[in-house]
Amino acid sequence: MRKGIVLFVVALLLFSVLPVKNKVADAAESEVNVSLIHEVDQLSALDFSLKGTFKEVTSGRSLVAGKTYTVKVENEQIGLYDGSTLMIRQTELSLKPAGISPSHLTTLNGKVKRSYMGTMNFKVEGEYVRPVNSIPVEEYIQGVLPGELYQSYHIHTMRSQAIVARTYLHYWVGRKPVTDTVSFQRYVGYSMDYHNFIKAAIETKGKVLSYNGKIIDGVYSSSNGGHSETNTGAWPSGTVDFPYFPAKPDPYDVKSTDSETIYKTQFSLTGLDVNNTEAWWSKEEKNPVFASQLKRMFLSNDYKNAKVIDVNSFTISDELTKGKRIKSANVAFTYVMRDANGKVIIDDKGTVKKFNKQLTLTGSQFKYALQVNSTLVTSFIPTTVDYQVSVVGNGHGVGMSQTGANVMAKQGKGFREILAFYYPGTVITNDKTTTIPTTALQMTGLVNYEGTKIRKSASITSAELGKTKLNQKIIILGKSGEWFKVKAGTITGYMNEHYITLGQTISYKDGITPITSGQILNLGSPIVSKNNTLYVPMPGLATRYKMKLNSTSSNFTVVDGSRKVVASHLSKYATVNGKKILLTAKPEKYYNKVYVPLTFLKQTGLVPSYYDEKAEQVLWLNK
């Protein structure tokens, strides 16, 4: 469910998927309280600083931006210090900003410095400080995406992840604690460098996945190893396989690999003084986590008084889940014990007494014990000295594969296609369903990164015309590839799409959206896709760009300024100002109207450039 290696504790691995209960209406805008643990756990004192205006809620006291403060646990209360001076001491501190924005941040100086929007609460948790970030749902999602995905991932992957992460939150909030760790969703707060993730969250605001009107459990994993898993396959305590979690091949997943070697001899007693247990008992087995898992399974709290000596037998079951993952593994091993006095137990011959045990590991216990990323085993090879195990995938394999989604995105698939593949039968609730506007809707956007450059042409090597400010409003005039043509103040040029958060939804469900010179506008009849060619209604285009169009049963004439084009839906030839040209594809008649292929517009010079954004089902026409 995460980027990188994800190893849950056994209890979490055994957590079952509950039936869907949340109604879609429950996904309204609200705040979420996130317990911050990852970099600030088990600290009795914590330094922090502020950006912007903050007040402590209970006392009403204002805090100064830029200054470093310290919170400490003292006599079961939280003390707030300015240097060595005590400012406030009470059971809980709540620092509320004047607004929710990057202009108001709390930066915690934990193991890693991280900044957070929203209210920062400091509570007593035993002898330690526990920061809890109260933040609106959408800003929370903005901080989850960079915790769950690599920054290099495609924007359509990020949009898909935003919808799934939002779904997961709404399903589980109130059912289990919300933390910033992988036990819930990795949450990393705010950074200016997260602009692409923030853009993806804003552009999918409010969207969640539902099935039969109820929000689903939006689980996901890093890699499913090329084959997805059912919910009961991952969590056997469940009784029903949900149809939106099928076990099926995934041709897009990158099939990340992992392996582990379990040694037959875990701990050698040769040369050890049985009468001086303290001298050697602290030494670990060769596979310490594997050995610990075995000991914990039958010795509970007494596991530290046992040491695994030999793994005599290790086999995996032939019975697999529907997702082709192992269900169990059997281990027979020898171990020794020490008594209540810390001495190793010896037999009547004066040698260390060895005990034998056989255990069956569940799939999740197998994964944890071997510290591998998956239970989709590709090879299991016993040798004379060890057991060599190889797996594919990273995580439980249920729902979306993040690596698979990224491959789909790179192939030109949008979030709707990605989510339909990984959660079949679900509906994206709060998705845009209205028809394409019949009155021109001007595209606008906000700059999401301070100092983004405006360039003369759609290229990173093009000359710089100027720089923009964070949250500066711009007007969209067109698009080519990853570059928007924009007007920012008095400057007209090009900016990379990653640095602009659009102010309008551009992708509609009822067809391909035409955006003509930065304006969303229904052209009177829909764009037609036939034989991998897009056809545009010429009457609507002529009206939009004030061209003169005359047509007969077989021919039509378009006059645009000094340019005169004569063509026919019966021929691949046309004339431009009297010069005959051969068209790549001929015009057609659809809906009793003249339709022209995109190449016609470019070849005749009527509309010199266009960009077919397949993933969003958007056609950008630039004139």
For residues 88 and 177, membership in a common domain is answered with no
Last residue of a domain, one of 382, 403, 429: 429
Q: What are phi and psi of 256, to 5 degrees?
A: -65, 145
For residues 362 and 414, membership in a common domain is answered with no
Q: Let me know if residue 282 belongs to a domain.
A: yes
Q: Let me know if residue 458 belongs to a domain.
A: yes
Q: Which domain CATH number covers 494? A: 2.30.30.40
Q: Let me know if residue 434 belongs to a domain.
A: no
The structural domain count of the chain equals 5
If residue 72 lies in a helix (H) or strand (E), which one and from where to where? strand 68-74
Last residue of a domain, one of 502, 526, 551: 502
For residues 273 and 359, membership in a common domain is answered with yes
State the pLDDT at residue 24: 58
Burial of 66 (0-12, 13-18, 19+ CB in 10 A): exposed
Q: How many whole angstroms separate alpha carbon 57 and alpha carbon 616?
A: 45
For residues 307 and 278, membership in a common domain is answered with yes
Tally of CB atoms within 10 A around 313: 13
Q: How many whole angstroms separate alpha carbon 196 and alpha carbon 493?
A: 21
Q: How many whole angstroms separate alpha carbon 194 and alpha carbon 115?
A: 12
Q: What string of H, E and C letters represents the secondary structure of 20-36?
A: CCCEHHHHCCCEEEEEC
Q: Let me know if residue 13 belongs to a domain.
A: yes
State the pLDDT at residue 436: 83
For residues 265 and 251, membership in a common domain is answered with no
For residues 250 and 306, membership in a common domain is answered with no
Query: Which residues partner with 590 through β-bridges?
Result: 593
State the pLDDT at residue 19: 43
In the predicted model, residues of the chain with pLDDT beneath 70 are 1-29, 432-434
| Measured CA distances, 36 to 330, 434, 459 (Å) | 38, 40, 41
Q: Let me know if residue 132 belongs to a domain.
A: no
pTM here? 0.85
Q: How many whole angstroms separate alpha carbon 253 and alpha carbon 228?
A: 9
For residues 314 and 337, membership in a common domain is answered with yes
Q: Let me know if residue 103 belongs to a domain.
A: yes
For residues 27 and 101, membership in a common domain is answered with no
Q: Let me know if residue 435 belongs to a domain.
A: no
Q: What are phi and psi of 387, to 5 degrees?
A: -125, 120
How does strand 588-590 pair with strand 579-582?
unpaired
Domain that holds residue 69: 45-126
In the structure encoding, which two tokens stand for residue 108, read together?
A: 């915690």
For residues 407 and 551, membership in a common domain is answered with no
Q: Which domain CATH number covers 588? A: 3.30.457.10
Q: How many whole angstroms separate alpha carbon 134 and alpha carbon 532?
A: 49
| Helices and strands, number each (H, E), in the chain | 11, 44
Strands (E), 166-240: 208-211, 214-215, 220-221
Task: Choose among 457, 467, 461, 465: nearest CA to 499.
Answer: 467
- 348-352-356-359 Cα dihedral, nearest 10 degrees: 150
Specify whether the CB–CB gap between 611 and 620 falls below 8 A.
yes
Q: Left if phi > 0, otherwise alpha if psi is -120 to 50, otherwise beta: which for 428?
A: beta
Q: Let me know if residue 131 belongs to a domain.
A: no
For residues 56 and 177, membership in a common domain is answered with no
Last residue of a domain, one of 126, 150, 178: 126
For residues 15 and 143, membership in a common domain is answered with yes
Q: How many whole angstroms separate alpha carbon 504 and alpha carbon 206?
A: 14
State the pLDDT at residue 48: 97
For residues 16 and 142, membership in a common domain is answered with yes
